[in-house]
Amino acid sequence: MWGIIATWRMAKEGLDKASNILSQQGTAGDAIETAIKEVEDFPYYKSVGYGGLPNKDMEVELDAAYMDGTTFDIGAIGALKDFANPISIARSLSKNKVNNLLVGSGAEAYAHKAGFERKNMLTERAKTHFKNRVKDLQEFEISPYSGHDTVGMVSLDNLGNMVAGTSTSGLFMKEKGRVGDSPIIGSGLYVDSEVGGASATGLGEDLMKGVVSYEVVRLMKENLSPQEAVEKVTFDLDKELTERRGSSGDISIVAMNNKGEWGVASNIENFSFSVATQIHENTVYRTIREGNHMIHTVASEEWMKNYLTERMRPLEEK
């Protein structure tokens, strides 16, 4: 059995490519790297890779991670500037015995030495978004952090090996040097081929408080289904944060076990995800919470079309 699950609709095209790889006996690692690169390279997704929104100083700083669930190899980068594919750099770091998580100039020096493609990741469109958002912030009461969509994935190949990966430009208008949950093993992602894997998106500062991806895998190891595990972790953390701190940030988690069964939970209203397995064609779902359970609905054609139209709409400076 092969399978791959990812946060958000934006992963759909990447999952088409990953499905091809996995159905032809490719590895979970190649599938996930290919799928995440597809998202990183698409200039209209403004929260991952090229075209990602910048930090407060108008610089695009990227976080990414890669974990192999069979060998437990881990690699990650934080606050990396000017390289095209953070996921590939994270994967390359996962081959090291030590020095697996590098940040800032150290990560850039490593990527340069290892021959990764340099690229200015700040697009004109992202600059316009930035300027408009600064104006909106002056005029309306909106959070500078809204509109963030990290890509996180878990994949399973026919040999039973599992891999998890993440890639993000983090929170829009974040401080220079801020690193979120996405490159943090256990929080942004975790995978154990003997059990399954999980990946999270949302407010990193809150996701880290629940070490959510590890927690989901731990519960699956105790025989919870992926859906039961993600619901428990998402809603328990949401409740605990609300009780202790007055509110909870966005929490969305996708998971897959080593049989290709999957689950998704979210405490926000507009979460979408993409999933493909050997017995389930690549499909985008939208999901809503009812009590402490989720209801997943296949995204309509109209919604799918609007999604891309909206993302690619010409953007003018306000």
Binding annotation for substrate = 178-181, 201-204
Write out the E strands in 233-317: 251-257, 262-266, 271-277, 280-290, 293-298
Out of 55, 123, 150, 193, point to the residue binding ligand SD4 (CB under 6 A).
Answer: 150
The residues near 317 (Cβ < 8 Å, ≥ 6 apart) are 128, 131, 132
Q: Toward ligand SD4, which CB reaches closer, 85 or 201?
A: 201
**Residues 41, 78, 119, 58: what is their CA dihedral angle, to the nearest 10 degrees?**
100
* Stretch of 23-31, 68-76, 128-136, 174-182 lying at the interface with ligand SD4 (CB under 6 A): 174-182
Whose structure tokens read 């026919």?
158
Out of 69, 75, 86, 180, point to the residue binding ligand SD4 (CB under 6 A).
Answer: 180
DSSP SS3 for 79: strand
Out of 73, 181, 215, 238, point to the residue binding ligand SD4 (CB under 6 A).
Answer: 181
- How far apart (Å, rounded) are the C-alpha atoms in residues 270 and 274? 14
Q: Toward ligand SD4, which CB reaches closer, 45 or 116?
A: 45
The residues near 136 (Cβ < 8 Å, ≥ 6 apart) are 142, 318
- How far apart (Å, rounded) are the C-alpha atoms in residues 314 and 186? 38
> Is 272 among the residues that bind ligand SD4 (CB under 6 A)?
no
Smallest gap from residue 206 Cβ to ligand SD4 (A)? 9
Q: Toward ligand SD4, which CB reaches closer, 171 or 224?
A: 171
Q: Is 128 a catalytic residue?
A: no
Smallest gap from residue 171 Cβ to ligand SD4 (A)? 5
Q: Toward ligand SD4, which CB reaches closer, 150 or 277?
A: 150
> Is 168 among the residues that bind ligand SD4 (CB under 6 A)?
yes
> Is 171 among the residues that bind ligand SD4 (CB under 6 A)?
yes
DSSP SS3 for 98: coil
> Is 148 among the residues that bind ligand SD4 (CB under 6 A)?
yes
Q: Toward ligand SD4, which CB reaches closer, 182 or 287?
A: 182
Smallest gap from residue 270 Cβ to ligand SD4 (A)? 12
Q: Backbone phi, then psi, for 10, in 5-degree steps?
A: -60, -15
The residues near 226 (Cβ < 8 Å, ≥ 6 apart) are 196, 216, 220, 255, 256, 257, 261, 262, 263
Q: Known catalytic residues?
A: 150
- Which residues are near ligand SD4 by CB under 6 A? 47, 148-150, 168, 170-171, 180-182, 201-204
